[in-house]
Amino acid sequence: MAVAVLMAFPGVVPNTVGNLGSLLETFLPWAGLAVPVLLGPVLLRRSALATVSLVLPAVVWVVVFGGRSLPADREAAGDLTVLQHNVGEENPDHTGTARALARAGADLVALEELTPAVRPAYERVLASGHPHRAVAGTVGLWSRYPLTDARPVDIRPAGVGPDWNRGLRVTARTPQGDVAVYVAHLPSIRIRPSDGFGSGRRDQSAAALGRAVASESLDRVVLLGDLNGTLDDRGLAPLTSRLVSTRNGFAFSWPAAFPLARIDHVMTRGATPVAAWTLPATGSDHLPLMARVDL
């Protein structure tokens, strides 16, 4: 019974101690694993109450997550195809990663952890299909279409110096008109015994990014980024309250070896994300996320 309540109303778990609410929400779909675990005891007891304790969480999981379990329609119509990827500082093959991204055929390619040492590899490989680019700090955007009005977006959490730059805003001149494109990499989360689910800095950056999106003058906005959080995580409310994302297909993107959560996102305002799915692993610890957007 408790499992069903937590899946349906995760907000009952507060963030006041160790951000336990956000921790639960990050891995919320996996709460459904409690159903097969309960199956054995239910079969042994064979009581009505035990049966309800099994059926109720199963029904709640289907209601809450059933739509996401359906595969994304990769052939769905859309005006803009976008690709989001944290290329990974420890990636041993950036040239191979760049080639895989180029073959994907996206109109826009957003990258994070784009350090000065590895940037030339992406510039060389992506240049032919994506001649327009904009970079700010360690995030960048490559595009088939002209880019204008590129500028950094200050999403620094408290206590971080001016050399930390993980936000970019640019106007993409698409055939359907101008689109404001944001690329962002929110701070990582660490789980420590001392402070639990350490999402404070991530939450501060999410709030700053939310304010930037709220003040955006263009009607159509596309946000591409490693947000280090899921759509269910209340810490991303400054973004999820202003932008929408496709909910079809789980598209878990991290960690690449055994994906547990979608922390890489394509979100929009004034446009409709119609499908999102992950691509095969590169040398990064994230999977690339591809999405189609209807402008």
Give domain limits for the chain. Answer: 2-69, 80-294
Give the Cα separation of 107 and 173 in Å (integer): 11
The C-alpha angle with vertex 117 and arms to 114 and 119, in degrees rounded to 5, equals: 45
Q: For residue range 92-145, what is the model confidence (pLDDT) as tens digits?
A: 999 999 999 999 999 999 999 999 999 999 999 999 999 999 999 999 999 999
Q: How is residue 268 written in tokens? A: 């929009």
Reading across the β-sheet that carries 167-174, which strands appear in turn? 147-152, 167-174, 177-185, 221-226, 264-269
pLDDT of residue 52: 60
Q: CATH classification of 80-294, choosing from 3.40.50.2300, 3.40.50.9100, 2.70.98.50, 3.60.10.10?
A: 3.60.10.10
Which pTM value belongs to this model? Answer: 0.93
Give the Cα separation of 85 and 157 in Å (integer): 22
Cβ distance 82 to 290 under 8 Å?
A: yes
Give the Cα separation of 85 and 88 in Å (integer): 9
The C-alpha angle with vertex 185 and arms to 182 and 187, in degrees rounded to 5, equals: 145
pLDDT-derived band at 78, boundaries 50, 70, 90: confident
Give the Cα separation of 105 and 136 in Å (integer): 23
H or E element, residue 86: strand 80-86
Q: Where is average pLDDT lowest: 2-16, 35-49, 228-242?
A: 35-49
Query: Alpha carbon of 272 to those of 39, 152, 263: distances in Å?
Result: 40, 25, 19
Query: Which residue in this structure is represented by tokens 């079809």?
Result: 248
- 171: three-class secondary structure by DSSP: strand
Q: For residue range 106-120, what is the model confidence (pLDDT) as tens digits?
A: 999 999 999 999 999
Q: Please return the burial class of 175, using the count of CB atoms within 10 Å of its CB with bins 0-12, 13-18 and 19+.
A: exposed
Give the Cα separation of 88 and 185 in Å (integer): 12
pLDDT of residue 53: 61
Give the Cα separation of 144 and 105 in Å (integer): 10
pLDDT of residue 34: 72
